[in-house]
Amino acid sequence: MTLVELVVVLVLISSLMLAINSGGLFFISQIYANIERQQIHTEIDYALEDMKLRCISAIDTATTFPASGSSSNASLQFVGEKDIYTINPDAYIPPGMSGHPGTTKKWYKYYVDTTDKNLYLRTCLNSTCNSGPQEILVEAKYNPVLTFKYTHASPIYDEPNFITVEISATSIHTPVGCDAVLKKSDGIRLWFIDLAR
């Protein structure tokens, strides 16, 4: 074997190893990007499902929408059941009236914190909802955006107790052919109160 043949073989083997290594790295990065995307879907789905389950029992609210036109809010705060599977709307005394609101009710607030950027569910003791235990629904690294929307249709088809919630999040690593921003929306019906006033 001559020196020229040896150089050609080394260049071909090096190129082949580089191609295999690059292909493997690309494949691994796509797997990681898809795992991250699935995590975002899971967090958004969990948040939407939690909102639908808790909002069914809402009997009082600190968040309202104008009765006409379209509007949106970045948070939703309401009184609902502590046990979301046992609903008793009559066991509640609204703020300002005498008596205790009962031990079966809690104030809940869904919002994106302006400091740490996490999407939270906060469980509060009173209507100010400034403090209380919080659960992270969508992590800040995905830059979540939360929007509650109400649209007045017409006097015939108006549903003052129905809102749409939209959650969007941005993936850090995006699979090939996919958009970096993931959005999901769902409708939420509040059975015992009207948000549009």
Q: What is the pLDDT along the chain (197 residues), one digit of tens a residue?
A: 788 888 888 888 888 888 888 888 888 989 999 999 999 999 999 999 999 999 988 888 888 887 777 788 899 998 888 888 888 777 666 554 444 455 678 889 999 999 999 999 999 877 788 888 999 999 999 999 999 998 876 565 567 788 899 999 999 988 888 899 999 999 998 888 877 77
Buried/exposed code over 21-50 (b: 16+ C-beta within 10 A; e: otherwise): eeeeeeeeeeeebeebbeebeebbeebbeb
Q: For the chain, what is the domain count?
A: 1
116 falls within a domain: yes
194 falls within a domain: no
The model carries a pTM of: 0.82
pLDDT at 154: 58
14 falls within a domain: yes
Residue 135 to residues 39, 81, 152, 182, 191, Cα–Cα distance (Å): 17, 17, 32, 21, 24
**Residue 139: domain span:** 9-189
2 falls within a domain: no
82 falls within a domain: yes
1 falls within a domain: no
pLDDT at 142: 95
pLDDT at 97: 46
pLDDT at 171: 92
